[in-house]
């Protein structure tokens, strides 16, 4: 059994629909696939309508901050309640405000003139930096990755974080709403040691991710063991946006059993609480 637990769709900055992801899952023999768009659960409704042998799980990649640095937290929901849906609908508004602030900053600091309309036209869901990057890339003839490096990276002058939710509070919110919570791509965490946040209540850690080599994944497996965390993994698939490959990173066999056992156990508990 094989699972990929980190995928973006057109509901955030991915380019594929759930149907296209389902086709990829079948073609590559995946049994379990999680949808984890940035700060939105809109993919949930697509999953409900999908007719497929693949087990689809609704998740989210939540934007949080720790020590002023961007920390992505993955939540996987055995059950979905109104509270969570409303919370993330509100975050969508925060992302719109943040996008407008970044556009303002780009004009002020970099003399780059783009409009919110140009950016929002590209976003059918949760709006983010890749949409800004695409507009600048097309207008000024540079690649999206150059746009990130030069103008909108985490340490750029124009960068604005999405909301101000502390990682500790984000983890608590997801757990209070019955999710399995995993620390996304620790390799991307800069500015502090990621181990210092693991006792905020994380259930899991993303051990397999395309940004790293096997040595780094093996190191993360040891960290998972030390902190008694479940192992998750996935390709952080974004479709045609930055060269991600659907089937590259995954979990299988025993790791997947442990994840699904916890998922099904939470499902029972969540239903009782309701």
- Report the interface residues with Fe ion, using CB under 5 A: 61, 72, 236
Mapping DSSP to helix (H, G, I), strand (E, B) and coil, where does residue 151 land? helix
Does 46 participate in binding Zn ion (rule CB under 5 A)?
no
Buried-exposed string 84-118: b where 16+ CB fall within 10 A, e elsewhere? beebbeebbebbbebbbebbebbeeeeebebebeb
- What contacts 193, CB < 8 A, 6 or more positions away? none
DSSP symbol at 186: G
Q: Are 71 and 197 in contact (CB under 8 A)?
A: yes
Does 37 participate in binding Zn ion (rule CB under 5 A)?
no
Does 248 participate in binding ligand AMP (rule CB under 6 A)?
no
Q: Residue 191 binds what, of ligand AMP, Fe ion, Zn ion, none (CB under 5 to 8 Å, by partner type)?
A: none
Report the run of H or E that residue 180 belongs to, with start and end.
strand 180-183
Q: Residue 203 binds what, of ligand AMP, Fe ion, Zn ion, none (CB under 5 to 8 Å, by partner type)?
A: none
Interface pattern 55-94 for ligand AMP (x via CB under 6 A): --------x-------------------------------
**Cα distances (Å, whole numbers) of residue 179 to 101, 189, 243, 249:** 31, 22, 29, 22
Going 256 to 259 to 261 to 264, the CA torsion angle's sign is negative
Interface pattern 125-154 for ligand AMP (x via CB under 6 A): ---xxx-------------xx--x----x-
Report which of 250, 195, 194 is spatially closest to residue 33, judged by C-alpha positions. 250
**Beta carbon nearer to Zn ion, 136 or 229:** 136
Size of the site for Zn ion (CB under 5 A): 1
**Beta carbon nearer to Fe ion, 203 or 236:** 236
Does 13 participate in binding Zn ion (rule CB under 5 A)?
yes
Size of the site for ligand AMP (CB under 6 A): 13
Q: How far apart are CA 201 and CA 172, in angstroms?
A: 7
Q: How far apart are CA 79 and CA 91, in angstroms?
A: 20
Does 206 participate in binding Zn ion (rule CB under 5 A)?
no
Does 11 participate in binding ligand AMP (rule CB under 6 A)?
no
- In whole angstroms, the minimum distance from the beta carbon of 23 to Fe ion comes to 20
Interface residues with Zn ion (CB under 5 A) are 13
Interface residues with ligand AMP (CB under 6 A) are 13, 38, 63, 128-130, 144-145, 148, 153, 162, 238, 242
């Amino acid at each position: 059994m094989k699972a990929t637990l980190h995928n973006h769709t057109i509901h955030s900055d991915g380019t594929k629909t759930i149907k296209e992801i389902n086709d990829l899952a079948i073609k590559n023999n995946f049994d379990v696939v999680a949808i984890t768009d940035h700060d939105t659960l809109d993919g949930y409704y697509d999953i409900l309508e999908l007719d497929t042998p693949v087990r689809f799980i609704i998740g989210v990649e939540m934007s949080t901050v720790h020590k002023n640095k961007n920390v992505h937290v993955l939540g996987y929901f055995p059950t979905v309640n109104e509270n969570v849906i409303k919370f993330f609908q509100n975050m969508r508004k925060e992302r719109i405000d943040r996008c407008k602030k970044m556009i303002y900053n780009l004009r002020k600091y970099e003399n780059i003139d783009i409009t919110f309309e140009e950016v929002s036209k590209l976003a059918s869901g949760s709006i983010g930096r890749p949409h800004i990057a695409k507009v600048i890339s097309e207008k000024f003839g540079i690649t999206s990755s150059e746009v990130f490096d030069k103008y909108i990276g985490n340490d750029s002058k124009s960068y604005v974080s999405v909301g101000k939710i502390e990682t500790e509070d984000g983890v608590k919110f997801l757990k209070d709403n019955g999710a399995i919570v995993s620390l996304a791509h620790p390799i991307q965490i800069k500015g502090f040691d990621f181990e210092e946040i693991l006792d905020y209540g994380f259930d899991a850690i993303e051990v397999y991710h395309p940004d790293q080599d096997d040595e780094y994944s093996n190191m993360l497996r040891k960290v998972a063991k030390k902190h008694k965390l479940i192992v998750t993994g996935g390709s952080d698939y974004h479709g045609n946006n930055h060269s991600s490959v659907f089937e590259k990173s995954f979990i299988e066999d025993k790791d997947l059993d442990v994840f699904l056992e916890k998922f099904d156990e939470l499902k029972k508990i969540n239903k009782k609480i309701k």
